[in-house]
Amino acid sequence: MNVVKAKKKALLYDTTLRDGMQGENIFFSPEDKLKIAMRLDDAGIHYIEGGWPGSNPGAQAFFDLVRDKQFKQAKICAFGSTRRQNSTCEEDGNIKALIDSDAPVVTIFGKSWDLHVTEIMNNTREENLAMITQSVSYLKAQGREVFYDAEHFYDGYKANADFALETLEAALEGGTRCLILCDTNGGSLPCDIDTITRKIIAHFKNYDDVIFGIHTHNDCAMAVANTINAVHAGATMVQGTINGYGERCGNADLTAIIPILALKMHRNCISEENLAKLQNLSRFVSETANMQPIASRPFVGHSAFTHKGGVHVSAIMKNPKAYEHIAPELVGNRRRVLVSEQSGKSNIVYKAKELGVDLGDDESKKTLIVNNIKEMENYGYEFDTAEGTLKLLMEKLTEQYQSHFDLESFRVVVEKDKERPCYSHAMIKIRVGNETEITSAEGEGPVSALDNALRKALATMYPGVKDLHLVDFKVRVIDGSDGTDSKVRVLIESRDTDNIFSTIGVSEDIIEASWQALADSFQYKLALDHKK
């Protein structure tokens, strides 16, 4: 008889919409929050903490929006504090707002650290415990499921273990069956989390219907590890945010925790299908927050499965396990291979195949390409982000390149009179076969003027260029210690209806560098059109 050991369950509690919003520059409107909540539910999240109603009008608005929504499995949670000291639950505005939110789950936080109770809040031990017990039991009596966040628990336990334990007992006495231990200042080491969590769980072993949760912060860059350690120690619920957004250094990053729980700790917490939505979920949240996605973010970042070193690339072509700890598709990501000064022939072969360039069998050509790339990267080119230029280069070095236009000349002029803003214009003359075209254009600056002039000149012979749009423009000075004589690298990202590609130019002259990148982008586009 095969005994399949049932996987232990782990509960996923997301606080992106509450704790996440305490991060600098993070802001979600109530409508943004609703969209994110629907995506979280769709991805299989169990609990969605929507905000602190009563703390600001925006927070309450979200609860109004979700009140009549149907969710697949997610339960909406309202967050707030225990009643004010020396008051009653009935009189407390905060408590009232929690009830008025109509959220089925209410998560309240209370103080576990004597420093906070006595010094910060000028309160007594007894009153602190009463605040906790009464708030929990009042909310339970109103028909809510109540979770208890023991704020500063680990610091509190280290300072005064009895004091901290009492606060948990007070919460249980009020009727909660879920205690979340918080490392609010984010300063605990993984071994502390492990030791203390085990002690707490052992202490309450006679309560077999109580579950423990963990809520960490990333002030020591260890929020994820601390969460994982707590789960090892017996915690069942993990609290965190998508992309680790949150106050100071952020909360525990669910986009790392979820795949670790599912794939490495074999916890029953998310289906395979939902796990594969993770990268999309991460990007949706960063887009909505208007935060630049971090390329190196584990599991879901653009670079998470990107290989640059030549040794790495030739190895993964034989067996991806050699340099990948999981298959990228499991979390909705994909493998990428970069070409750079660290490339070997394997990178080049892989890349050429990706770009649709046939290198043939001539090994000397591949060596020529590798050497050219190394020299050019030494000069300042970076091909890992400029695949358009790379493709054209490979074609040039294997005599497959077809030029669609040639430059006869250009002149760019920038003029300024006294305080008036600069005025830029460019004249350009190009040749296509036996025909030439000469024209001029203005622009926001010299590069813009040149771009407009080139586009205008080409459009007379190639109407298709109107579909080409320049969507990103990056300039980097390479080693600014040569001052204004320093080399400059220009990177341009272009799009037409079907394609996105990047091109690059390097020179001490920013116009020359921009020209290279611009010319390459039009050549690349015209080659694509020619193939159709």
Q: What residues between 226 and 255 interact with a second copy by CB under 8 A?
A: 226, 228-229, 232, 244, 247-250, 253
Report if residue 514 touches a second copy, rule: CB under 8 A. Answer: yes
Compute the least distance from the CB of residue 342 to a second copy, in Å. 6
Please identify, using beta-carbon distances, which residue of 2 and 481 lies nearer to a second copy.
481
Report if residue 432 touches a second copy, rule: CB under 8 A. Answer: no
> CA separation (Å) from 372 to 11, 366, 376?
53, 10, 6
Binding residue (CB under 8 A) for a second copy from 141, 471, 499, 500 = 471
Report if residue 14 touches a second copy, rule: CB under 8 A. Answer: no
* DSSP code for 340: S
Binding residue (CB under 8 A) for a second copy from 92, 382, 387, 395 = 382
Selected range binding a second copy among 172-180, 353-361, 390-398, 470-478, rule: CB under 8 A: 470-478
How far, in Å, CA of 372 to CA of 377, rounded? Answer: 8
Side-chain-side CA neighbours of residue 2 (13 Å): 2
Give, as ranges, the residues between 244 and 303 that touch a second copy (CB under 8 A): 244, 247-250, 253, 256, 260, 264-265, 290, 292, 294-299, 301-303
Compute the least distance from the CB of residue 387 to a second copy, in Å. 13
Binding residue (CB under 8 A) for a second copy from 375, 435, 442, 467 = 375
Report if residue 319 touches a second copy, rule: CB under 8 A. Answer: yes
Report if residue 438 touches a second copy, rule: CB under 8 A. Answer: no
Report if residue 507 touches a second copy, rule: CB under 8 A. Answer: yes
Binding residue (CB under 8 A) for a second copy from 412, 453, 457, 526 = 412
Q: Which residues, other chains included, contact 464 with Cβ-Cβ below 8 Å and sequence gap of 6+?
A: 525, 526, 529
Residue pointed to by tokens 């929990």: 136
Please identify, using beta-carbon distances, which residue of 378 and 497 lies nearer to a second copy.
378
Residue 320 in contact with residue 335, Cβ under 8 Å? yes
Compute the least distance from the CB of residue 265 to a second copy, in Å. 8
How far, in Å, CA of 347 to CA of 349, rounded? Answer: 6
Selected range binding a second copy among 29-37, 62-70, 208-216, 361-369, rule: CB under 8 A: 29-37
Binding residue (CB under 8 A) for a second copy from 112, 128, 176, 218 = 218
Binding residue (CB under 8 A) for a second copy from 58, 175, 234, 293 = 58
Residue 82 in contact with residue 72, Cβ under 8 Å? no
> CA separation (Å) from 181 to 120, 201, 270, 471, 504?
20, 11, 23, 46, 51
Q: What is the DSSP string of 24-39?
A: TT----HHHHHHHHHH
Q: Which residues, other chains included, contact 194 with Cβ-Cβ below 8 Å and sequence gap of 6+?
A: 229, 230, 232, 233
Compute the least distance from the CB of residue 129 to a second copy, in Å. 19
Report if residue 366 touches a second copy, rule: CB under 8 A. Answer: no
Based on its alpha-carbon atoms, the radius of gyration of the chain, rounded to whole angstroms, reads 30
Q: Which residues, other chains included, contact 150 with Cβ-Cβ below 8 Å and sequence gap of 6+?
A: 109, 110, 112, 156, 164, 167, 168, 171, 179, 180, 181, 182
Report if residue 9 touches a second copy, rule: CB under 8 A. Answer: no
Please identify, using beta-carbon distances, which residue of 159 and 527 lies nearer to a second copy.
159
Please identify, using beta-carbon distances, which residue of 172 and 246 lies nearer to a second copy.
246
Report if residue 493 touches a second copy, rule: CB under 8 A. Answer: yes
How far, in Å, CA of 89 to CA of 111, rounded? Answer: 17
Number of residues that bind a second copy (CB under 8 A): 141
Give, as ranges, the residues between 122 and 181 that touch a second copy (CB under 8 A): none
Report if residue 67 touches a second copy, rule: CB under 8 A. Answer: no
Selected range binding a second copy among 9-17, 142-150, 206-214, 510-518, rule: CB under 8 A: 510-518
Residue 471 in contact with residue 494, Cβ under 8 Å? yes
Q: Taking the chain, what is the end-to-end CA distance rounded to the nearest angstrom?
A: 61
Report if residue 465 touches a second copy, rule: CB under 8 A. Answer: no
